[in-house]
Every structure is written in structure tokens, then in C-alpha cells.
Structure 1
Amino acid sequence: MLRVEDIYKDYDGKPLLKGITFEVQEGELVCLLGSSGSGKSTMLRIIAGLEEPKSGKVYWKGEDFTDKPTHERGFGLMFQDYALFPHRSVAENIAFGLRMVGRSKPEIDSLVEKSLANIRMQEFADRPVTELSGGEQQRVALARALAPDPYLLMLDEPLGALDHNLRTELLKDLRKRLHDSQKPVIYVTHDQEEAFALADRLLLLHDGKLVQEGAPERVFNQPANTWVASFLGLGNLVPAKLISPNRVETDLGQLEVPIAPEIEPGSDCVMLLRPDDALFGENAISLSNYLRAVIRDSVFLGNYFRLEVMVGQTILQVHSPHPDAIGETISIAWPASSLQCLPVA
């Protein structure tokens, strides 16, 4: 369907996008995930035709769309602030895009009625959008974007302006509506929770490059490098040196690790120690990666206690099923199979 090929773009004379290439298939929901300022929104604007790339191509079903005017591409774009017209009603907002593509009045009336039914807002047709809640405005903006039947739908941080509780409430509904549309979707966000909840596939953008792509569970279980693990908040990152195929030297001492064929012995790397994988007490003492740690802090988070512990001069976070007193010394360990040796990035 969509293919973006080797896109470069500068901003204020500095490289912003550096050779971005990816594809989006029919009915696929792809999340473009990265920190603020990483070029995510610029990438959407290039696909939409609102900005030109320095170099590279945008293809739709094999046809070169790079120089095609925005209004001829047939792509839909939904912005973070929804860009609804405050002086128009709900129905008039949905009808706007249909008028722009030259639909007749009977067609517009029929499609608006269908769109309102799809978002269960028939009774809101004549209501000003300024009287809607944040969630209702989001549904109207999505209906407006889908009404002209775009080939591709793009959403730029559509939940970014909402508070956490409302965002969580809307995620499930949004995923269903996007999948029900059967459209290929590119969804831009900096929020990891949002991306994992919505995406069929993740594209992680950092420093102008795609550093990893894959299904959410694969990215979570197999981060490509230190930046991915840090950005996703996967756990403790401890500098290390690989001293043999399955052993590293760290400030925690030597640790046994799975063989990492992509990292040469003698090379620097970073160990990922996930808080959920830590074992305690008798379960820890028998393992080769056994450590003694002093508890600095303990926070109850419902299903577990988040402990901040000190091992030597290194601070780690672990998740424990039971509380421990601050200042207490405990035994912890990570099974060798749970550790990941990541390239420095």
C-alpha cells in the first residue's frame, strides 16, 4: 500500500530525518513512536504532501506520490487539537471534507448521517462542537477524517491534549474504530502506553532514524539497543564489558548472561535488568548472579512494591511482592536467562 523510501529532511539547516524507509499494509495500524522533536509529525506532513522532503520518495500502491498535490492524494490527517471548526455544528464539521472533495448534497447528507451513527452521536448533529467533551470532540474529528473514505488515515498525537484518565478510557474505543475502518493507519505518539495499546506494529524513531520496528511484544521483549530500552522504560541499564561469550564485568560484579553473538568479547555493552525478573531471598541465593542490596525506598503500587535498592554504588529498581523496611539488607538475583546484553546507543 504505502511505501516511504529513503526520506531525508532538514530543519533550520540541521538534519531532522535521515533516510527513513518503511511500509504500511492494508488494514494495518502502525504507530510511529519517538520523543518530542524526533521528526514524527514532519514525517506525517511529508506523507500528506504538506511538506516536501529534501530527498526520497512516497509511493502509494506503486505510484509515485512525492510531487502529487495534497488534495489529490486522498489521504486523511487528524491533528492533535482536532482542528474542528468552532463556529460549525457537529454535522457541518463532518460534512466539510465531503464538500471539499466535491460530493453532492444528497451524498453528503447520507454520509454524515452514516458517520454520526458510526460514532453513536446522531442526537449531537446540530450541537456546536464547543459544547462537546474532549472524548466527543475526538470522535467527531475521527468521523470527519474518515467520511471522505481516505486511502490512508494519519493521526498526529490525537490523545495528547487529554488527561490520563480520559486518554485511557478512549484508547480501547479508538483502537476498535480504527480497525473497523479497514484503513491503513499511521498513528504518531510519544506515549509508549498508547502505542502498545493500539499498534499492530511499532516504528521507533530516534535522532532522525528508524532504530527498530516490529510487533509491540517483540519490541518489548527484544529491544534493539540501549536507547529503545531506556525510552520504553524497560528496566535498569547497567554499563558492562563482555569478558567472555556469556559473562560480563559490571560495577555490580561479574554477571552470567546469555550468549550475545552480535557483541564481541572485550566490547562495551549495557545490561538490561528488568525489575519484574528479580528474585528474592532463598530464591536468589542459589543463583550465580546473587547480590546483596540495601533498600533505599519502597512504594506500594497495587500489585507489587517498587523497591529502590543500592548495590555497592549502583541504584537499581526491583518489583517485590512484599514490603521490606527501608535500610534493610536483602538478597536479590536475576536469572542469567532473563538478562539482556544490549549494544551501546
Structure 2
Amino acid sequence: MLPIIADQVSNLVHTAGVALLSNDEHAHDVVTEHIQGVWAHEMGRHGPRNMDILRQVLAQGKPYLISDLAKAPNCLYPASIQDMRAFVGIPLVTHEAVIGVLAVASHTVLNDEDVRVLTAISDIAASAMHRATLHEQTERYAADVTQAYDATLEGWAHALELRDQETEGHSRRVVQLTIALAKAIGLSEGGMEHIRRGALLHDIGKMGVPDSVLLKPGALDDREWEIMRRHPEYAYKLLSPIAYLQPALDIPYCHHEKWDGTGYPRGLRGEQIPLVARIFAVVDVWDALCSDRPYRRAWTKEQARAYLRSQSGKHFEPRIVEVFLQSRQLGA
């Protein structure tokens, strides 16, 4: 939008150079947003060599016209710019705040009528610059919120690892492996962030399992096992009301389903199971087998590979097992 406005300025008053500058309140200075014409190679990101006049326009909120630059040598231009006759700075005002300056250089005289025309155009420029600023602020805010959310998710996952006495780094490893396997399967980059969050929170439903069951050192009895099998449902109840996490819900809710329909909580079979959950199931079991646990030593990779093959078509989708085992990048 700003280049179009600069072109309109040039066409209406036959200018030699146009610059649109914003007011950087943090730096207490003006910053070039768009520049064209004779200034293009002479002005940097922070505008003309001498900014006093532009700062005056910002401070007073009024146009500043120099109709004869010969009477104000070197006030705005380096010596290499020749034959400049006039300069005008127009404040860019929106909601009663000066947010920038429209600076115009001309080879010919500029008069009060030119200033009026430029002031009218400056209203459009101010509106465009204000919208652009709001858009940037909204994007920054959204990025900050996303970062805060993700930091919270990391905290949840770490807290669960500590409570569950999970192997150190299990969540981090399964996140990395799940994303790598999803890419190897051919899933698009667009969904990777949801996959990452789902993998990170895969066992978040265990927050609803009592310590007496979750931390029991021995084998679970039938009643306790029934409680443990509810943790995917607890995950669904916990995460489904959060719009931000709904696209990530398939892994926490469905990663204990099995290809042959013998899994839980719903006994889904084959392609009824969401693809990302089928991918994660392979990764989760692989990492569990290859990690030390309180009740056993880690399996060798050869043993873990043999187990995955034995469960292909039963626990796991055969295609995913083959991709996982054949991909050197996955370390299998």
C-alpha cells in the first residue's frame, strides 16, 4: 500500500523523491518505511542525514514547507543530490496521534496548494501505516501467546514425567521421532506443530489416574488396570475444551488403539484410528523398549526391531512399521 501512495504523491505534485517514515517511540527517532526517487540511494533505514526538521514535524504535528532549499543548505540532503528546490514534511496523524511523516522533495517550487493536496494524501498514508502496525502487533502478540502456551505444555509434560517416574527425556524423544516419522510417511509441514503438541501431551490423561494406581510397583489388578485404561478418556476431557489443542487431540486420545481393534479406549480398528495416532504408537513403543525402566533393562535395537515386526498387522499398521524400520534417519 505504501508504494502505491508514494506513486500517487509523485504523480500529483511531480516530486523527485518521496519517503514515508514512522515514529519509533522506543528509539525516539523516525524510521524509513518506504522510499523512492532521488532519496532511494541516499537515505538509509533511518532517513535523511539531518533529521531535525522531520522531528519537528513529529513534535508539532504540523506541515513544514521549505520552498527554497538554497536558503537552507545541507539541512536535509547530502551534497550528491543536486538541484533540489523544495521540501515539505507532512505529519501522518491517526486517532489524534502523529505516527510518522510524509517527506517530499521537489525540483520545482511547492506551494500551499501542494501542501493541502499532500495533507489529504497523508491521511490515507497514516491509515495504511496504522493498519500495518496493528497487523504487526497482532502477529507479535499471537506469536507471544503461542510461545507461552507451548512453554506451558512443556511444563505439563515435564511434570507428568516426574510424577510418573518416566524415563528422563521420553517426551522429548518421542516428539522428535514422531515428527520425523510423520515426514517420512509424507504428512505435510502444515500439521507438524499439532503433531508435536499431541506427542508432547500423549500421556497427559495420566494426570487423572490416582497415585495408588499410577505409581504401584507391582502388577495392576483388574480394577486398577481398568482405571489406567481410562487415561486417554481423561486426556480427551482435559484437552477437548481447549480450542488451541483440539487439533492435537488424536494422539493423546487414540495412541493406545491397535490396528487389529484390540486397543483402547474405543476399540478402533485399522484406518478408523487417526493416522497420527498410528504413527505415534510405533514411536512410543519403540522408545519404551529401548529405554531403561525400573522393572527392566532397555532392550537392544535388534530386539526392539523384532518386536515391532512381530506386532505388524496386530498392534501396528504394517506400512508404518516398514517405513520406521527402513529409515536410517529414525535411528531404528
TM-score by length of 2: 0.22
Q: Which has the higher contact order (CA 8 A, sep 6+)?
A: 1
Structure ID, larger Rg? 2
Say which structure is richer in helix.
2
TM-score by length of 1: 0.22
